[in-house]
Chain A
Amino acid sequence: MDHAGTGGGLLGADPVLITTLVLNAVTQASHMLLLALGLSLIFGVLRVLNMAHGALHVAGLYVGLSVVQVTGSWWVALFLSPLILAAIGAGLEVALIRPLRNRHPTHALILTFGLILIFQDIFKLFWGVDIKLLAEPHILSGALTVFGVAYPKFYLFNIAAAMAAVTLVWLFLTRTIAGRVIRAAAQDPEVAAAVGVPVPRVYTAVFALGTFLTAFGGVLMGTIMSFTPAAALDTMLYAFAIVVIGGLGSLPGAVLGSLLVGFIDAFGLLAVPGWSIAFVFIVMAAVLVLRPHGLLGRAEA
């Protein structure tokens, strides 16, 4: 009788199981990264914790659904839906976030929390409460053998897409003039404005970019799983845990936080089944207590 993998511990578990779990962890880390990257970016530059970030993530699926209905193409949806949402994000920033600029940060927090509820109602109004999902394109269905494990092609595509996105964002911020302008605006908005940086416009652009990333992730997530309007709030919990662990405003922190959460989720299950979700939030609490600015975040002056 085959009892491979029946033990609770890691030692003695079969290599296929371990490899698959590593791939699962990295897949989940890529979801999380696309969700958290924009959140962290927006916070890093605008100093606004956008509670509606998860709602914009879920909106990526809903808008993507309508794009697929009109164009019939998942690939068009993968890029067009984030573009549409980036435009919506820019509009939100100009209309709602900008006027709160010099107010206490809790105002923006409460406002964006209110947006979650509005988004949920919009989802219900236009798309209903039914479970929604996107079908994967044919070329990405089925499995591919990697490291001796048959793994779903779509999950591998997800990993590649997240890696590409984070690399592009990093190159943009470090190697382009626009990127330098953004970093200048993030570091010291007043000095940046004095030397001619159009700070308000930079903020709008960054908010749009952050929204693009999360909506892009939303289309991918909606193809792996399914959403109901309720996901707008639930996703936010995870995004929040990641940026707190990694450090709010830190991009390497978002990467590290995502990987940590992915691995904790996948392997926590082997160690203590049923506790893996709690692990993520235990780690978050520990980071908050021991290193309040996150693993890779900078302490505020």
Chain B
Amino acid sequence: MVNVLSRRVSRRRMLKVSGAVLAGATVPVGLLGRNVSTAAEPVKVGAIGSLTGVVSVWGKVLKEGAELAIEHINADGGILGRQVQLVLEDDESKPDVGARKARKLALEDKVDVIVGVNHSGVLLSIVEQLPQIEKIVIGSCATTSEATTQRFNRHLFRVHANSDQEGMSGALYAKDLPYKRWSVIAPNYAYGFETWGSFISNLKRLRPDIEILDIQAWPAFGAPDYTSHLTRLQAAKPHAVVSAMWGGDAVNLLRQARRFGIFDQIAFFSPAVGALDVLYALGDEFPLGLYTDAHAYWFEAPTSDRVATNKSFVEAYRKKFNAFPHSSAHGTYAAIKTFKRAAEKAQSVKTADLIAALEGIDVDAPGFSGTIRKEDHQVVHDIAWGRTVAFNEGGLKRGIGEVRWTAGNLVTPPVDEVLQLRQKGGKADYYQYVKNI
């Protein structure tokens, strides 16, 4: 058996070498060097994150998640017998910088795959580049649904929930609560529009009696002062507000809203304000009773089939970085593990082979498992929402309690709907609920 295998390998290598020699007749010498790369060369994983700017913590934890995944994979023999190496790039939360960094990773560093991306605007600009640079991105943080719907191309895969799923799961949590008058405060770009649109359109479907206010707040990403937006919102007297603030913006929003007593009057629903960076930054100042899904991963609440895996991930992460794992770290860890799985399934790290292997692949994230749909490359996994409660461990003062799970298929727009929107193009119908931009 061993003999047969080794013979097969040597035959393959021989073919490769002869192929290279043949190719050498027609291609420049520089490319030839690439073709004869030996098996000892490392597999290169490019990661793009927002390492500077108001959401720099998201970039930092993205990097940490990548480092831990690669450490684990290398300790376990690497990918296809090769060690894995990380090449990290900062997109500065700017779409043009992100696109440039993606090209750099593909063309200069010659990475085999790109993972990460925190900011939806950046992801959308990178996605457009991918067919041209012939690389895939396994998205691990930015949630814009547009990337897997209207702007779909075969080079993007996503291993965590998108904004449609986060919004829909929030609506399912909110439908049994008494709030009737709804409004929004969210950043004025794709992520903000989609999170609100998906949430409120689904809630309206489930609860036709709700009233959606015209007074809405759409500040710019990174604008630090929300005081007057909040004053205006407060005067409109909503019962509940959906928010898609994240990073430093979320911290500023919560600080300002708390001082004006807004949380005593208005219920607050937001995926990302409950993410770990905000919980760490605000400590005791973080209001109790806010509704959140911690950006689709709360380290204390894995699905029932992932309890042991999640525990060992959380412990390893804590030991290495002295903090609990943020959703962006968790997503990136899962993205690189999924890349390994796909490469081993395909026995290759070539883009076309990876695409084929990733379509329909199972994602074994530490906290949940899911499947990447063949049609839109979006993972479907269960999502839990809960409320912020007092907590006291490892520097955290708030945790998430009253956790309730919703099955992945209930929170994901069905394939035919996605394909229809892709064909039709333009904006999703729920943009009708975005007012007052």
Contact = CB atoms under 8 A, between A and B. Distances in A.
A173 interface: no
A277 B223 contact: yes
Contacts of A234: 222, 224
Given A152-B259, A228-B53, A234-B222, A130 B280 contact: yes
A178 interface: no
B53 to A, nearest CB: 5
A266 B280 CA distance: 30
A22 to B, nearest CB: 10
Interface string A264-285: 0110011001101100000000
Interface in A1-16: 2, 4-6, 13-14, 16
Given A21-B231, A277-B223, A224 B54 contact: no
B218 A274 contact: yes
B248 interface: yes
Interface in A159-195: none
| Interface size range on B against A | 35 or more
A155 interface: yes
Interface string B235-277: 1110000000001100110011001110000000000000001
Given A28-B225, A28-B227, A234-B222, A226 B236 contact: no
A182 B415 CA distance: 72
Contacts of A229: 52, 56
A274 B56 contact: no
B52 A5 contact: no
A72 to B, nearest CB: 15
B282 to A, nearest CB: 8
Interface string B158-199: 000000000000000000000000000000100000000000
B281 A273 contact: no
Contacts of B282: 133
Contacts of A17: 231-232, 235
Given A5-B236, A131-B57, A225-B252, A143 B225 contact: no
Interface of A: 2, 4-6, 13-14, 16-17, 20-21, 24-25, 27-28, 120, 128-133, 135, 143, 150, 152, 154-155, 224-231, 234, 265-266, 269-270, 273-274, 276-277
Contacts of B248: 131, 226-228
Contacts of A270: 232
A226 B237 contact: no
Contacts of A230: 52-54, 56, 222
Contacts of A277: 220, 223
A201 to B, nearest CB: 37
A14 to B, nearest CB: 6
A224 B256 CA distance: 7
